[in-house]
Amino acid sequence: MCGIAGFFSTRKNYSEKENYYRDILEEMKKKLIPRGPDQDGTYFREHVGLAHTRLSIRDIKDGNQPMMRNIDGYPYVIVYNGELYNADELKENLEKNGWNFQTTSDTEVILLSFLENGSDFVKNLNGIFSFAIYDGRHEKLLLYRDSFGVKPLFYTILPENEIIFGSEVKALFAYPAVKPQADLNSFRELFGIGPARIPGSGLYKGIKEVKPGTYLSISKYGIRSEVYWRLESHPHEDSYEKTLEKAGEMISSAIERQMVSDVPICTFLSGGVDSSLVSSICSERLKKEGKQLSTYSFDFDGNEKYFKANSFQPSQDRPYVDKMVSYLGSKHHYLSCDYEKQADLLKESVLAHDMPCMADVDSSLLYFCREVAKEEKVVLTWECADEVFGGYPWFHREEFFGNEMFPWTRELSPRHELLKPEFANALDIEHYVKEVYQKSVSEIEPLPKENETETNRRQIGYLNIKYFMQTLLNRMDRTSMHWGLEARVPFADRTLVEYVFNIPWEMKAKDGVVKNILRQSSVGKLPEEILFRRKSPYPKLYHPYYEELLGKRLLHALEDSKSPLHLFLDETKVRRFIGSVKDYGKPWYGQLMAGPQMLAYLLQIHYWFSAYGVEVDL
């Protein structure tokens, strides 16, 4: 993948201080070098500056950016981060209409599609992407983001209708007028929604993110936001047998399309049904080409001794990984992380995200991606299958229904019980979260014939795709791209998600089988014990010394009288919490973030303030 950044204003002439603004553009570009270490470039004119860093995956020789076409003497320029999976189809149609291609890159396909069809052309793109197009004829900038927000794109608006944008927030901070500030809503999001974010929020005051399925058009007439795709409710008319057939074809097609690359691909293999299915389909395809698939699995030192089974994590992965390696005949790599590395990388993962994130669930994946990136450039992952096919407990248990709460955060008390009472009162987290929840569920329409339970499940499915899946996609993008590793997510294929979202629950969980559609449509592609293995999420560290280490580091942070933690944490409560026994089976976010992860999350907030010099504006 790549990194993009830039600035644009029809009311400013950057060339009047050309050296100054070129230097800024270079600094913005440097911030994104980890996302694209292979090549880089810039484009500069009176009203615009564009920067690009490239991770070379397709058309390694000729796909450099920014990429430009001149039409009637006017420049049209693109900087692009992503992967287009229907590039060949689009290219064929463009050639029929008389367009000549100078490269084999999907970047050129996107630029010429814009020139042929105009700004709404994005509706025809099948892929993961964020990109900016400068239209020199009309002095206009367009910012695009893919349907599910797999690829990030942040921006802020300054006076004179000036927009500053980048793949990561750190690129915006290279622009002198953009400062890292946190206001009351930043803290509401941190403690009420975090590590998720509200769609379109950049957490910092004044910083936003282009929403998934949306593009922005910026010109002398102002800024227009256009939704080009949204998830919709439709009656499902296929029989159960036809549904399995279609779903199976869509899954295989999505995985095979995402294997397109001019460099070797690999897969993450956990031994669960999702990663095993992706690996199986990739392996079969490569075998036909006389190639062997490389696979990677993750675990933690000491888990064979300290692992604690619970309702969220019923079994360890290693025995199932071994079975799949034998089944696939893959070139496998067993990666393991110890508790000190995981703790040490908590700060690095804040730097990768530019904000607090999923604590050690993130820092461990950051470590694993670093190790994979030493050998690979492209990986196909298992992400999004549970959100799409209904794999989480909150889809199945009625105690999660109708609570007007996000199902992965049923209890808000752990989020504010360590705060100073006056600060907690000012945040009013319960009211804030309820408002966000109600606004979100109002966006999806139930079908007239659905009963209350089916409507609740539809709402949960929508919330999972809009919020929970986005959090995991953010995690995957930042932890992989921080090391120049491109992670692809075939289960986030738009056609597949649109279809599965509307399959009725009686099919999705037929006979009580979790992710029944995924499993039954994949019979014959995996060993039965893998295909029907009970869900076990991303591996988690159970080493007791990890929790002790986190406690010591948080206490050390509190001993610093200048630590911003003193602004909002009740030190007495925090010390009591550090000394208490943590419950691993009752997460405060998702399935993995329990007591120890709260310590890690607070540490990340401390690192965030320290590393970025965040100004508090309350």
Same domain, yes or no, for 98 and 149? yes
Q: Which residues of 274-311 are buried (b: 16+ CB within 10 A; e: fewer)?
A: bbbbbbbbbbebbeeeeeebbbbbbbbbbbeeebeeee
Paired with 379 in beta bridges are 266, 487
The gap between the terminal CA atoms of the chain, to the nearest Å, is 38
CA distance linking residue 573 with residue 173, whole number of Å: 35
Structural domains in the chain (count): 3
Residue the block writes with tokens 């190639």: 291
Residues 6+ apart with CB under 8 A from 47: 8, 9, 10, 12, 13, 14, 139
- With cut-offs at 50, 70 and 90, classify the pLDDT of residue 457: very high
Task: Please check whether residues 165 and 223 belong to one and the same domain.
Answer: yes
**104 lies in a domain?**
yes
Residue 536 has pLDDT above 80, yes or no: no
Q: Are residues 155 and 41 in the same domain?
A: yes
Answer with the one of 531, 565, 589 that is the final residue of a domain. Answer: 531
User: 158-179 pLDDT, tens per residue?
Assistant: 998 999 999 999 999 999 999 9
Inside any domain, residue 8: yes
Tell me if 536 is assigned to some domain: no
Residue with tokens 């019979």: 523
Q: Do residue 106 and residue 130 come from a single domain?
A: yes
CA of residue 325 relative to chain centroid, distance = 28
**Shared domain check, 404 and 519:** yes
313 and 183 share a domain? no
| pLDDT score, position 61 | 67
pLDDT at position 365 is 95
Assess if residue 54 is contained within a domain: yes
| d(C-alpha 251, C-alpha 500), whole Å | 11
| Domain edge (last residue) among 163, 198, 227 | 227
pLDDT band (50, 70, 90) for residue 537? low
Q: What is the pLDDT of residue 408?
A: 92
Q: Is 109 left (phi over 0), alpha (psi -120 to 50) or beta?
A: alpha
Asked if residue 398 is part of any domain, the answer here is: yes
Q: Which of 115-129, 303-317, 329-343, 567-581 has the lowest mean pLDDT?
A: 303-317
Phi, psi of 126 (to 5 degrees): -115, 105
Task: Specify whether 526 is located in the same domain as 548.
Answer: no
Residue with tokens 């975090």, as numbered in its chain: 194
Percent over 90 (pLDDT), the chain: 82
Per-residue confidence (pLDDT) for residue 588, from 0 to 100 = 86
- The rounded percent of the chain whose pLDDT value lies above 70 is 94
Which CATH number characterizes residue 261's domain? Answer: 3.40.50.620
Dihedral angle, C-alpha 608, 612, 615, 618, nearest 10 ° = -30
pLDDT band, residue 260 (cuts 50/70/90): confident
Task: Please give the mean pLDDT across all residues of the chain.
Answer: 93
Res 16: pLDDT:
97
As a whole number, mean pLDDT of residues 263-280 equals 95
> What's the pLDDT at 276?
97
52 and 101 together in one domain: yes
Out of 49-58, 370-379, 380-389, pick the least confident: 49-58
| CATH at residue 191 | 3.60.20.10
Q: Same domain for 16 and 128?
A: yes
- Asked if 336 and 535 touch (Cβ cutoff 8 Å), the reply is no
Kindly state the average pLDDT of the residues 565-574: 94
Closest CA to 229 of 131, 153, 155, 121: 121
Name the helix (H) or strand (E) containing 224.
strand 222-227
Q: Which two tokens stand for residue 548?
A: 């002790």
Give strand pairing partners of 50.
Answer: 6, 43
Q: Tell me: do 34 and 148 sit in the same domain.
A: yes
Of 171, 204, 227, which residue sits at a domain end?
A: 227
392/57: higher pLDDT: 392
How far does Cα 160 stand from its chain's mean position? 32
d(CA 179, CA 184): 16
Q: What is the pLDDT of residue 390?
A: 95
Q: What is the mean pLDDT of residues 348-354?
A: 98
Q: Does residue 13 lie within any of the structural domains?
A: yes
3-state secondary structure of 4: strand
Burial tier of 605 (Cβ tally within 10 Å: 0-12, 13-18, 19+)? buried
Residue 537 lies in a domain: no
Q: Give domain status of residue 234, yes or no.
A: no
Q: Does position 22 have pLDDT exceeding 70, yes or no? A: yes
Same domain, 457 and 550: no
pLDDT at 400: 85
| Dist CA 513 CA 532 (whole Å) | 8
**Residue 599, domain extent:** 544-617
Q: How many CB atoms lie within 10 A of CB 435?
A: 11
Position 533 scores a pLDDT of 87
**CA 257 – CA 260 distance, rounded (Å):** 6
User: Is residue 302 over pLDDT 70?
Assistant: no
Task: Let me know: does 591 contact 537? Beta carbons within 8 Å.
Answer: yes
Looking at residue 481, what is its pLDDT? Answer: 95
* Nearest Cα residue to 4 out of 48, 39, 50: 50
Residues with catalytic function: 2
Mean pLDDT (whole number) for 454-471: 94
Same domain? For 346 and 412 the reply is yes
Tokens at 25, concatenated: 């553009």
Mean pLDDT of 309-322: 71
Q: What are phi and psi of 487, to 5 degrees?
A: -105, 125
Cα(535)–Cα(451) distance, integer angstroms: 28
- pTM surpassing 0.85? yes
pLDDT digits (tens, 9 = 90+) for 67-115: 999 999 999 999 999 999 999 999 999 999 999 999 989 999 999 999 9
